[in-house]
Amino acid sequence: MSQTIIVTGGAQGIGKCTSQHLLKNGYNVVIADVDVEAVKECLQEFNEFQERLLVIETDTSQEESVKKCVKDTINKFQHIYGLVNNAAISNPNNAPVEDLLLEDWHKVIETNLTGYFLMAKYTVPHLRQSKGTIINIASTRALQSEPHTEAYVASKGGVVALTHALAISLGSDIRVNCISPGWIDVTQWRKLSLKKESDVRDIDNQQHPSGRVGKPEDIASMIEYLISDAASFITGQNFIVDGGMTKKMIYEE
């Protein structure tokens, strides 16, 4: 029986690449995404995998929507082995903190952090049965900041902390790890109405110690490794996948 993995925010960007990568490698995949347009495109694009695919319109910040997602997953596949918490939104308007609306703060926190909690809460009983795993997608912004990103940064810092808290609470039944991507160029993995040519410049690639900006495939490969038995001794960790940028000392000349 193929292992079943739920990927939230799985219809675009890193989530879509991960969904495709896992499908091609034999997993059952549940794409849970709030964007109806992107969801419909995934249904068509991944049609060849329809026996191993379930696509569900899901708002991970809403408890009833999360409960329905988990219920529909069990109805189709009878088990859940992995949860990839990936659904997230960025800072609205990049407003300075004194102008940041409380409702905008709440919206980011509810999607980027509360949504991860809700998905974990309702998948944990099934993950315990399968001795499964949770992988949370955070960001290097949990460790370093640009101006006017308080809500996003706080949410991603919370994801890193939530990861090790869950790892301790759920061990040894469920492994919980975190990935913090750096600059990942997702332009080719957006829905058709947002897809465009990459605007990554040579200087953008060259400033990375690795020699290039990241690709969604870099994260998808790390996710698959953390799902696998090869990572059975790894839990509670945050893996930074950023081409070395967080280790680079930068001063303006």
Grouping H, G, I as helix, E, B as strand and the rest as coil, residue 196 is coil
Phi, psi for 134 (deg, rounded to 5): -120, 135
Length of the chain: 253
Closest to 10 in 3D by CA, of 195, 191, 240: 191
Helix (H, G, I), strand (E, B) or coil at 121: helix
Q: H or E segment at 240?
A: strand 238-241
The DSSP bridge partners found for residue 133 are 82, 175
Determine which one of 81, 116, 152, 225 is catalytic. Answer: 152
152 catalytically annotated: yes
Tokens read off for 205? 């690639």
Residues carrying an active site annotation:
152
